[in-house]
Structure 1
Amino acid sequence: MTLHVENPGRSAVAAVIGLGSMGFGMAQALKRAGLAVVGYDVAPAAVARFIAEGGRGASTLGEAVRDADIVVSVVVNAVQTEAVLFGPEGIASVMKPGAVFISSATMDPAIARDLAQRVEALGFHYLDAPISGGAAKAAKGELTIMASGSARAFAAARPALDAMAAKVYELGDAAGTGAAFKMINQLLAGVHIAAACEAISFAAKQDLNLEKVYEVITASAGNSWMFENRIPHVLAGDYTPLSAIEIFVKDLGIVQDMARAERYPVPLVAAALQMYLAASGAGMGRDDDSSLARLYAQLSGAQLPGTIKA
């Protein structure tokens, strides 16, 4: 099945809602693939930046989606996703007939199913499509997308999926499955970051050469993708938020809520969540999630690069 457009000679129009670190890169990838892209963000500066890079900007949600065949929502959570769709300026009343709404926010699978039912009842398509890969891969169009939805939703979304992702996993015909896969990923990611930060700070407490620790561990069985990716931030003393502490406060909180509903124990998640909460409470919530290493250092007196020795 192919995407239906009124004029087969024109490019599909895609609206990207949310031009943060991920959404901006995704909008760039869509534009590079030849789609006509309109960007919207609550921060006017983000829209201005997209316009400066050759994209089209919109000042309201309605303006952004009115002519869009594909709407890519890259907001933070389920609450924001619902507001985009059904809030006071919600797009559900102005979307183009037959358009597909691609939801990339991380959320509880039950909420994804509810949103999909409400969107599809209005005659639109809904693709549950959380993402993984980070801002750099978003900008290159090399994300991993964990998607579920109807065959018609996949067909309508295909031009955008092909542009944004190196891997698109088609995980079922019902919304919620993609969200569930993403939560398993976030469980592992959050725990692995906490473990990596605990390890590197423990190494610092022992006055080990941290550059050499990184070299040895990344060549050894104790390595993980998160250790390899996040510990360079610690070594550089640079906690610029590529993925913030608050993301895992939210996501591990969702995992814990899901597990509690299933009467399933998640002790590693619980321990990691407490560290993210502590880092947030210490004023690091908007900093990079590798800031957990700083928290460990503060608690233990370990000396990390870029910190002032007491």
Structure 2
Amino acid sequence: MAKCLAASGTFETVNGYDKDHGKVFAFSQSGLKGAVGASSAEEVFLGSNVVVLSLVNQAQIESVLFDDSGNPKPFLKKETAVIQTSTVSPSYAEHAGARLASKGVLFLDAPVSGGPRRAGDGALVVMASGSEEAFGAADPVLKVLTANVKASGVLHKIGSHPGQGSTAKMAHQLLAGVHICTAAEALNLAKQSGLDPAQLYDIVTAAAGNSWMFSDRGKRMLQKEPDVLSALSIFIKDLGIVSEEADRQSVPVPLAARALQTFRSAQQSGWGALDDSQVIRVYESKLTGHQESSEGLPPGKEFVEVADEPSHLTVFKNEFTTVLKVSFPPGVTTWMHRHSEDSLYFFLVEPELHVLNELLGCAPVEDKMEFGEVRFGTHRGTPLVHKITNKTTQQMLCIDAEVTKSPPMVRGEKPLEAPFHELVKTRDRCRVYRVLLKPGESFQTVYDFFSLMVVKERGEIEVSKGKDGFLKMKQSWKRGEVEWREPASEWRQENIGQGTFEAFVAEWR
């Protein structure tokens, strides 16, 4: 994108930065008008009125734009326009936009489709949302990036709020991921049935069953070692976003869920860095489905560690905890996996979750968990090795929070006493409080401990931190979202939404 902007001749200076200094040097020596290599992201922001971010995930965006407390970094200037082009969750885009707006920074949620080649040609499809001011400031840049109309360059203005652009990209990635898997499935079916897959490719691309993904990825599926134009692991992130958002909104996405399982199987088999077309290897190796947990296990392994099990997605990790979101469709069985750390389990399937729990070497046992039930598993020293089958008619949703280390500061033996907080679980290394706020209700307290919040019921919350409420923000929370919190001197929280907000706050001891 930087080369495209510089080549257009529209801008006096185009500051480019990448962690790969070789790319920065090549850009600065490209001979393009105004192409300048920057030594840091900060230098780009200080020297630019409009900044385009093209990063791998929201964790990288967070590290560039915000400090460890989640506040905009000091070098972000008022009225600077930030164009975020990565695939992130709609809720993250909305939250990032709100934080930047508090400092007067303009934010455009503008994920793109097209890849590096079309980015260089100014032929991107941009799905953008944001304020009129943000669109106005970003307009010259967006025009260049979408100028090649003949090559399908186009700007779609989705709405006026960050998050809407990412919602459109999320739906797009659902289709893209499913189409890649169905292309692989069809070509492998033809091959296993004795047909020439190359001939089938020619047939489909000229017939009604064709899609852009089949035409593009199918061609690379026929190659033994295609160049990596888009890494397979990217779809684990993108379809993970689809799964998370669908779970929060209770929207069924069974095809996307199965596609996500297939991409995860590919990654677990060591193919994550290959071109995404190579998901066909999963079908060729007969590792799909996961109807039986032994299918897809790495060769010679009786079980995997919990973080390596495809249905367990790591959503947060630090020295004190690893938080995994457990999600898979009805009727599916996980791989046999091992829990080695003490863990809190938050079960979030309404009205209840029904599973078959099979310990290694034992017969399956039925188990039921109520909606909002919290359990604590003591696994350190005596690991749990098991597999789970989802026997409900809904997507499995559980938050598994490992209690890996006690924090440097603990509040002592006395539990927190605060309005709207109910102590529901106490163990040596943690306590869990249930927080329930009806519309208009609020509380103020001191969270003088390290904690993890897990959302049970979605809501719109206004949070003020500090004695004078120096940091105030509005947050939209959805079921299954989590947030790690460090000790705060004062904490005020008000439900500004229309429904009851319910969450758990787990205190690390």
Normalising by structure 1, what TM-score?
0.85
Query: 5 Å matches for 1:19-38?
Result: 26-34=1-9, 35=11, 36-38=13-15
Contact between 1:246 and 1:276, CA under 8 Å: does it hold in 2? Answer: yes
Contact between 1:148 and 1:175, CA under 8 Å: does it hold in 2? Answer: yes
Show the counterpart of 1:120.
101
Show the counterpart of 1:78.
58
Pair 1:242 & 2:221 matched = no
Shift of 1:32: 1.4
Alignment-mate amino acid for residue 41 of structure 1: D
Show the counterpart of 1:20.
none
Q: Deviations over 1:110-156 (max 9, x none)?
A: 11111001111111100000001122211101000000000000000
C-alpha distance in 1 between matches for 2:184 and 2:73: 42
Alignment-mate amino acid for residue 211 of structure 1: A
Shift of 1:199: 1.0
Query: 5 Å matches for 1:134-283?
Result: 134-165=115-146, 166-283=153-270
Contact between 2:188 and 2:197, CA under 8 Å: does it hold in 1? Answer: no
Q: Secondary structure at the match of 2:285?
A: helix
C-alpha distance in 2 between matches for 1:239 and 1:273: 22
C-alpha distance in 1 between matches for 2:249 and 2:76: 36
Pair 1:60 & 2:60 matched = no
Q: Secondary structure at the match of 2:144?
A: helix
C-alpha distance in 1 between matches for 2:224 and 2:24: 30
Shift of 1:271: 0.7
Show the counterpart of 1:103.
84
Contact between 1:39 and 1:58, CA under 8 Å: does it hold in 2? Answer: yes
User: More displaced, 286-295 or 144-153?
Assistant: 286-295
Match of 1:40 among 12, 17, 22: 17
C-alpha distance in 1 between matches for 2:37 and 2:67: 21
C-alpha distance in 1 between matches for 2:105 and 2:144: 21
Q: Secondary structure at the match of 1:241?
A: coil
C-alpha distance in 1 between matches for 2:193 and 2:74: 60
Shift of 1:107: 1.2
* Paired residue total: 274
Shift of 1:45: 2.0
Shift of 1:214: 1.2
Normalising by structure 2, what TM-score?
0.52
Q: Secondary structure at the match of 1:138?
A: helix
Q: Secondary structure at the match of 1:107?
A: coil
Shift of 1:91: 7.5
Show the counterpart of 2:478.
none
Instruction: Among all aligned residue pairs of Structure 1 and Structure 2, give the percentage whose two residues are the same amino acid.
Output: 40
Relative CO higher for 1 or 2, CA cutoff 8 Å, sep ≥ 6? 1
Show the counterpart of 1:19.
none
Q: Unmatched 5+ residue regions in structure 1?
A: 1-25, 301-310
RMSD: 1.6
Shift of 1:62: 1.2
C-alpha distance in 2 between matches for 1:97 and 1:149: 16
C-alpha distance in 1 between matches for 2:27 and 2:219: 29
